[in-house]
Structure 1
Amino acid sequence: MTLLTVTGSHIALQAPYHPELSAQARRLGGRFRGKETGWLFDADQENALRGLCHTLWGVDGTASALIDTVTLRVTVRPKFHEATLWRTFGSDIWMCGRQIASRRPGGRPVAVPGRGVKFTVGRPRIEDGPTGSFMLLVDEGCVFTVRDMPRMALKAVSRTLADIAEWEVT
């Protein structure tokens, strides 16, 4: 859920976690006011906030984006370049505001799908990196679904996956 609510001299942003949100919100003068309120901004930041919503989640922050959702089926193309979305060094894999895969915290490193993501062919995996770090990977040929993706975000999905995966609405 990503929603902007304009109330007089302030705008509230309620949004799911994204690793870039905190830095970008502070850059725009935002203050986090707890889970129920979310981030609070001056009203003159509305255009910048809508741009931020497009950049991080592919939506404009309106309530209509929350209502019209789809399920995506993504197939990772073979022979993708190693520096793509599907390989991250020491961090999770994100696509249009959705966590596709992460490392389960704790003991032995295990890769797990993100919330609302189901792998039907293949699985995310972890490779040990230098100096005890790790690399999270989604290999070519993997197929996964992403539930509850806002239809409004499909343009961002298309740009993000243009050369690295096939996708369809199911």
Structure 2
Amino acid sequence: MRVYLPATAAVLAALREARVLGPAPLRAYAVTDDVRADVPGEDEEEAEFLATLAAARESVLLLAADGSAPRRVVIAADVSTARPDDDPARGAGAVLLGEEVPLARMASVHADEEAAEQAVAAAAADPTEERLDACEEHDLLWWATQELDELLADLGGAHPDGAGPE
């Protein structure tokens, strides 16, 4: 099952060092029956896009807590199981993962480019629906997990000794 995990630059830096995202439970989004119900007649790609956007919104909420660059970050990963998250505030597609996710199970990372920083910073400071919607005017860029060092450098979190992941 493909899941989309909300993250930040600080989360990515910790992931680079530990090679695993955790501890469990981890909050994520997936294409669930309730997501499919929200987009009847749409294909799987559109449903995955909605799950990614939900994770990106949650990423904005994480920014205030960790002081990362004001850019949304979403990690796409393949996991064997996820259970529905019954928290109504999280919305359609919200799931909980009962295990840590190793870097090897991650398919890609999606992150804002620098042009989104003003909108994302405003939404992180005051997450109104209008400000969260404004973030969605910016596309998330696709990064391979092998490009984690380059992405962190772009986000302002380059490896301190210039070395990449082992």
What TM-score do you get using the length of structure 1 for normalisation? Answer: 0.25
Question: Larger radius of gyration, structure 1 or 2?
Answer: 1
More helix by share: 2
What TM-score do you get using the length of structure 2 for normalisation? Answer: 0.26
More strand by share: 1
